[in-house]
A and B are shown apart, each in its own frame.
Chain A
Amino acid sequence: MKRLLALLLALVMVFGLAACGNSAAPAEKPAEAPAEAPAEAPAEAPAEAPAEAPAEAPAEEIVINFPSIWVGTDSKAAYMAQLVENFNAENAGAIKVVVEEQTDYQAYRDKIRTTITTGSAPDLCILDTTFDIKAYSESGKFMDLTPYLNEGWGDTFADGAFDAWSVDGHTYILPFESAIFPLIYNTKIFNEIGWDHFPATYDEFFQFCKDAKDKGYNAMGQMAGDNAWSSMLWYSLIVEAIGGKDVYANGLQDPAFVEAAKVLKEMYSYTFDGAISATAGDVNGHWLARDTAIYLNGPWWIGNLYKEDNAVDGVLLADDCDVAVNPKYEGGKGDGGLVTTVQGFLAAAKQDDPAKEAAVVKFLQYLTDPDHVSELALSSGAMFFVKYTPSPDTSVIAQKFTEIANNANYTVLHVNGAFPTAFSTEFPAAVSALVLGEVDEQGFVDMLQTAIDNAA
């Protein structure tokens, strides 16, 4: 009897497990359906067809999964949501873009990296320079956009925008959002300290820092916590000022990197307390609290300067701000250069189904349409590789950014963009080690070099 009972229990358990297995099946089906269904019919119904077809064949709606970081509080979120909504309305029944919201940048990167590695690249995603764009382009997992770009779409992008990111003349990953890094400074604080101009040289800059400190202000915000973003940008500016436009030609062997480390370390004497463990939130918080004189971040931050929430006594922060270029370094090779990066690439997974490929390209073209990009730039303050006519409503600060970009003698990437990902991963540890005296300037550069070598 006991044996019989044991057998019965075992059978129940086995069936139970089997039932668990079956339950997964329905969940998988819908995901497969869009990919399979069009494979038979859609070949005849390429790019233009979807707009007409919906009423007859609603079941064949193509779903484009788009995990996006341009959501939540991101400055592009509102207009991006509107763009997607409009696109879905215009293509109702034929194409549907489903945005998977992810508001945390690092979590987003981790998710995208994992899904690509496991062989299931999302239909569309956003990459940045922490991804190995060349390796991803060569992986065969992304759609070759070259034929579409050659049909005229490519002409809407800035000249040479694809050069650095193409592989053997083929563009798989599209540089979309650009960024430049001029310095924004609080004119009210400058006036209080007794400065009527932005320092033109780094010597002058440190004199300003001393004056700011004497008056109880932080000259600038630094952070070695998280990804040490602010310090990374400052380091990039100093590196450019010292090493000039060819500073990356010899990797980290250029003496500019050691010299720049010395300057960066000194800057930590003129920032707020606790900068070693600080994050971007701390840097931004100090800037918004008007106790920091100079702010360094990308153009996407311009929108925050105009937010009523950040106004004090009804005065917008932007009203007390001006924009300046990187000071010159005595004896440095920098000469009117500008630190830039590709803040966002658009990448589409390679599709077996031509109809889905056409749908994805259609959405990409919609997204990068100059009129839409102009609106996106206006609403967010961000800058793009697409050629567009800036709106007359563009903010003063954004106009100054554009002016600086147009007047730059040359551009160099920020250090995170110029070196492999291992550099940016190690950078926070190297900065804190430098500032806390664990390593000297050469040791700082050696830490970064070792990280790159280990990953090679």
Chain B
Amino acid sequence: MKLERSDRGPLWAFLGPAIILMLVFFVIPVIYVAVVSLMKWNGISAPEFRAVRNYLLLFKDKAFQRSVINNVIWALVAGFIQVPLAMVMAIILSRKPKGWKFFRTVYFFPQVISGIALATLWRAVYNAETGLLNGLLKAFGQGALAKDWLGTLQTAFPAVLIYWVFYIGYYMVIMMADITTIDESYYEAATIDGATDFQQAIHITIPLIRRTSLLTCVTLASVMGLRQFEQVYMLTNGGPANSTSTIVLYMYKKLQDTNYGMASASAVILILVGIVFIVCIRKLFEGRGEGAAPRKRRAVK
């Protein structure tokens, strides 16, 4: 579509502020970070160009390798376990069973609590000596299973990840909002044809939210998984032996060392991993030549 000359003024007037903000708060800082990633800089003295040495050091650093792997696992779990869980709950609650408002509130409630507070709470739950988890195991005669959950290599990362997976409220309400816009007539027709609730969910609900709220939630969850920091920082600070480290935590530790070059290099890697993830998710949701998603109509009252 070709723009009329007279349309260009309002177009730029609308887009201009957003473009300026994007340039100032995103593009320029990213370019700055990319430049610093090629430097040796302690934040005080003059920076010294060291080409790609920071990147070479990063790729050789086992803590960084572990951080990238953990972040990829985190993003995958977020996108493909946490969001599907949220979707299931959204589909169930959208059918408005008895007490659905109560459950919607209960599932959403953790979203209003800060991540730091939740991490502190779970730290207490996992405490090796006084923690609730070990206490329950002992109470049920399974004391042999009690352990230092955050201090054992095999359990630390799953422990950090597992509780977080069940905080599905945010994605659930997004998908619920989307599901409620699906035309009721689809479900009525399916019911007449003898489709069960499960079949309706599989053949009507999921296809209709797939490229809208489901795609949005998978993208959001994966990106949040990639930028995990506070939970890990509060629960384990990346330990034991860097087994729970994430890229942002790694970056933070490099900043503590006033190693701004390597911190910036890890930030660049994080951005690249994020881009790869988003592209892959979009490809995955584009499907195999199915064209545009079916149009939805608002229910007519």
Which chain A residues have a beta carbon within 8 Å of chain B's beta carbons?
Answer: 3, 6-7, 9-11, 13-14, 17, 109-110, 113, 116-117, 130, 132, 135-136, 138-139, 141, 224-226, 272-278, 420-422, 425, 428-430, 432-433, 436, 438-439, 450-451, 454-455
A7 to B45, CA, bound (A): 49
Which stretch of B88-96, B173-181, B232-240 is in the interface? B232-240
Q: In the complex the two chains form, is B148's CB within 8 Å of A274's CB?
A: yes
Note all chain A residues with C-beta closer than 8 A to B237. 225-226, 428
Residues 228-250 of B, flagged 1 when their CB comes within 8 A of A and 0 if not, give 00000000111111100000000
User: Known contacts A14-B13, A117-B43, A225-B239; is A110 also within 8 Å of B262 by CB?
Assistant: no
User: Known contacts A10-B14, A275-B151; is A135 also within 8 Å of B42 by CB?
Assistant: yes
Q: In the complex the two chains form, is B10's CB within 8 Å of A274's CB?
A: no
Other-chain residue from A110, A116, A225, A421 in contact with B257 (beta carbon distance below 8 A):
A421
Q: In the complex the two chains form, is A225's CB within 8 Å of B151's CB?
A: yes
Q: In the complex the two chains form, is A277's CB within 8 Å of B239's CB?
A: yes
Q: In the complex the two chains form, is A110's CB within 8 Å of B256's CB?
A: yes
A439 to B257, CA, bound (A): 23
Q: In the complex the two chains form, is A116's CB within 8 Å of B43's CB?
A: yes
Note all chain A residues with C-beta closer than 8 A to B9. 7
Q: In the complex the two chains form, is A139's CB within 8 Å of B148's CB?
A: no
**Cβ-based interface call for B197 (8 A):** no
A141 to B42, CA, bound (A): 14
Note all chain B residues with C-beta closer than 8 A to A10. 10, 13-14
User: Known contacts A3-B10, A10-B13, A135-B44; is A438 also within 8 Å of B153 by CB?
Assistant: yes
Q: In the complex the two chains form, is A432's CB within 8 Å of B253's CB?
A: no
Q: In the complex the two chains form, is B61's CB within 8 Å of A13's CB?
A: no
Note all chain B residues with C-beta closer than 8 A to A11. 13
Other-chain residue from A224, A277, A454 in contact with B57 (beta carbon distance below 8 A):
A454
**Nearest opposing residue in chain B for A121, CB measure:** B44
**Nearest opposing residue in chain B for A130, CB measure:** B256
A274 to B240, CA, bound (A): 11
Q: In the complex the two chains form, is A454's CB within 8 Å of B127's CB?
A: no
For the complex of A and B, the 5 pairs showing the least CB-CB separation, nearest first, are: A274-B128, A276-B151, A10-B13, A432-B240, A277-B151
Q: In the complex the two chains form, is A433's CB within 8 Å of B240's CB?
A: yes
Note all chain B residues with C-beta closer than 8 A to A138. 44-45
Between A and B, 15 residue pairs with Cβ closer than 8 Å are A9-B14, A10-B13, A132-B258, A136-B44, A225-B150, A225-B151, A272-B129, A276-B151, A277-B240, A429-B63, A429-B240, A436-B153, A436-B241, A439-B241, A451-B257
Q: How far is the CB of B202 from chain A (nearest CB, A)?
A: 43
Chain A facing B: main interface SS: helix
**Cβ-based interface call for B111 (8 A):** no
**Cβ-based interface call for B6 (8 A):** yes
**Cβ-based interface call for B289 (8 A):** no
Which chain B residues have a beta carbon within 8 Å of chain A's beta carbons?
Answer: 6-7, 9-10, 13-14, 16-17, 42-45, 57, 61, 63, 126-129, 148-153, 156, 236-242, 253, 255-260, 262
**Nearest opposing residue in chain A for B12, CB measure:** A10
Note all chain A residues with C-beta closer than 8 A to B10. 3, 6-7, 10
Q: In the complex the two chains form, is B258's CB within 8 Å of A274's CB?
A: no
Note all chain A residues with C-beta closer than 8 A to B153. 436, 438
Chain B facing A: main interface SS: loop
Other-chain residue from B6, B7, B236, B257 in contact with A425 (beta carbon distance below 8 A):
B257
Q: How far is the CB of A158 from chain B (nearest CB, A)?
A: 28
Other-chain residue from B17, B61, B241 in contact with A433 (beta carbon distance below 8 A):
B241
A454 to B257, CA, bound (A): 10
Q: In the complex the two chains form, is B45's CB within 8 Å of A224's CB?
A: no
Other-chain residue from B148, B238, B253, B258 in contact with A113 (beta carbon distance below 8 A):
B258
Q: How far is the CB of A416 from chain B (nearest CB, A)?
A: 12
Q: How far is the CB of A167 from chain B (nearest CB, A)?
A: 13
Note all chain B residues with C-beta closer than 8 A to A6. 10, 13-14
Since A130-B256, A436-B152, A436-B153 are in contact, a sample of 20 more A-B pairs with Cβ atoms closer than 8 Å, ordered by chain A residue number, is: A6-B10, A6-B14, A7-B10, A14-B13, A17-B17, A135-B42, A139-B44, A273-B128, A273-B129, A274-B127, A276-B148, A276-B151, A277-B239, A277-B240, A422-B257, A428-B239, A429-B238, A433-B242, A436-B240, A436-B241
Q: In the complex the two chains form, is A429's CB within 8 Å of B43's CB?
A: no
A7 to B10, CA, bound (A): 6
Q: In the complex the two chains form, is B148's CB within 8 Å of A429's CB?
A: no
**Nearest opposing residue in chain A for B58, CB measure:** A454
Q: Considering residues A9, A10, A274, which has the most beta carbons from chain B within 10 angstroms of its beta carbon?
A: A274
Other-chain residue from A130, A135, A276 in contact with B240 (beta carbon distance below 8 A):
A276
Note all chain B residues with C-beta closer than 8 A to A276. 148, 150-152, 239-240
Note all chain B residues with C-beta closer than 8 A to A136. 44
Note all chain B residues with C-beta closer than 8 A to A277. 126, 128, 148-151, 156, 236, 239-240
Other-chain residue from B16, B57, B151, B253 in contact with A274 (beta carbon distance below 8 A):
B151
A276 to B6, CA, bound (A): 68
Note all chain A residues with C-beta closer than 8 A to B13. 6-7, 10-11, 13-14
A31 to B90, CA, bound (A): 50
Note all chain A residues with C-beta closer than 8 A to B128. 273-274, 277
A432 to B241, CA, bound (A): 5
A433 to B242, CA, bound (A): 8
A117 to B44, CA, bound (A): 6
**Nearest opposing residue in chain A for B239, CB measure:** A432
Q: In the complex the two chains form, is A135's CB within 8 Å of B45's CB?
A: yes
Q: In the complex the two chains form, is B45's CB within 8 Å of A14's CB?
A: no
Q: How far is the CB of B60 from chain A (nearest CB, A)?
A: 9
Q: In the complex the two chains form, is B45's CB within 8 Å of A139's CB?
A: yes
A318 to B231, CA, bound (A): 37
A224 to B44, CA, bound (A): 30
Q: How far is the CB of B7 from chain A (nearest CB, A)?
A: 8
Note all chain A residues with C-beta closer than 8 A to B148. 273-274, 276-277
A11 to B253, CA, bound (A): 45
**Nearest opposing residue in chain B for A141, CB measure:** B44
A217 to B85, CA, bound (A): 46
A275 to B152, CA, bound (A): 11
**Nearest opposing residue in chain B for A423, CB measure:** B257
Note all chain A residues with C-beta closer than 8 A to B6. 3
Note all chain B residues with C-beta closer than 8 A to A116. 43-44
Note all chain B residues with C-beta closer than 8 A to A278. 151
Q: How far is the CB of A33 from chain B (nearest CB, A)?
A: 27
Note all chain A residues with C-beta closer than 8 A to B150. 225, 276-277
